């Protein structure tokens, strides 16, 4: 029993590390070759777990080889457009310039119901509202609205909008995230000053604290749902 637990835990950590090395894509965004490698790795990883008689090292070696091949192929695809096209394919344009590309839809087994569903998911209601519908190489469908139906932006109205600032986590459930302090070039003293302004004395009292490069901070105390 203990052996099974240990083998499962070790294989879990090993597979997670391998997938981390492959990259940060979500499952729905994997290229075909990446999806195949992921499925094969999951199959190989289960063998030494369910069958203690199978060598753990053999499964680990097979997974490492697959990982190595995927990294090599990805690197070659990164350097050579032709190989990238061979490995990942090309985007498929289903609709452009007011015309439906029936041949492309047929080759991808993509019917009109699928096309209209993707259009509705984009916020449009009909083909008249869109300029392009393209299936990307990872299977996602991009819908580009035509000019008349795109959301109005400040630049369209001649308004100069303020730059959007990204908020970084400084304190997560009582733990200070030092890397983000360095990223924002702020000190621990600055953090403590903000906490004191909110009636707090210790970092351990904070559930969440975030800040952006402009110095705007949000503090949430532990045990409370409201922002301070």
- pLDDT (tens digit, 9 = 90+) per residue, 169-180? 999 999 999 999
In the structure, what pLDDT confidence band is assigned to residue 105 with cuts at 50, 70 and 90? very high
Q: Average pLDDT in the 65-91 region?
A: 84
One fold for 92-149 and 168-221: yes
Q: DSSP readout, the chain?
A: -HHHHHHHHHHHHHHHHHHHHH-S--GGG--HHHHHHHHHHHHHHHHHHH-TTS-HHHHHHHHHHHHHHHHHHHHHHHH-HHHHHHHH---EEEEETTEE-HHHHHHTT--HHHHHHHHHHTT--SGGGEEEEEE-TTS-EEEEE-GGGSPP-TTTTT--PPPP---EEEEETTEE-HHHHHHHT--HHHHHHHHHHTT---GGGEEEEEE-TT--EEEEETT--S--
- Please tell us whether the domain made up of 92-149 is placed in CATH 3.30.240.20: yes
Q: What is the pLDDT of residue 193?
A: 94
Q: What is the pLDDT of residue 63?
A: 85
Q: Would you kindly state where each structural domain of the chain is located, as residue ranges?
A: 2-86, 92-149, 168-221
The reported pTM is 0.61
Minimum mean pLDDT range among 45-59, 83-97, 109-123, 206-220: 45-59
State the fold for domain 168-221: CRO Repressor (3.30.240)
For the chain, give the percent of residues with pLDDT over 70: 89
């Amino acid at each position: 029993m203990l052996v099974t637990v240990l083998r499962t835990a070790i294989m879990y950590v090993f597979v997670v590390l391998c997938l981390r090395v492959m990259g940060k894509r979500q499952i729905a965004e994997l290229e075909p070759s990446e999806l195949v490698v992921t499925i094969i790795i999951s199959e190989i990883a289960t063998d030494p777990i369910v069958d203690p008689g199978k060598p753990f090292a053999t499964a680990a070696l097979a997974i490492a080889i697959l990982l190595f091949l995927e990294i090599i192929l990805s690197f070659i695809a990164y350097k050579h457009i032709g190989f990238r096209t061979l490995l990942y394919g090309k985007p498929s344009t289903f609709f452009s310039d007011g015309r439906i590309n029936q041949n492309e839809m047929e080759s991808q087994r993509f019917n009109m119901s699928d096309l209209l569903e993707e259009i509705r998911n984009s916020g449009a209601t009909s083909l008249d509202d869109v300029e392009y519908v393209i299936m990307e190489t990872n299977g996602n469908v991009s819908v580009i609205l035509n000019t008349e139906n795109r959301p109005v932006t400040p630049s369209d109205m001649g308004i100069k909008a303020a730059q959007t600032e990204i908020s970084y986590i400084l304190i997560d459930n009582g733990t200070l995230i030092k890397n983000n302090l360095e990223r924002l070039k702020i000190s621990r003293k600055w953090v403590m000053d903000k906490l004191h302004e909110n009636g707090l004395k210790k970092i351990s009292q904070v559930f969440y604290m975030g800040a952006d490069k402009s110095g705007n901070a949000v503090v949430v105390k532990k045990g409370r749902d409201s922002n301070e």
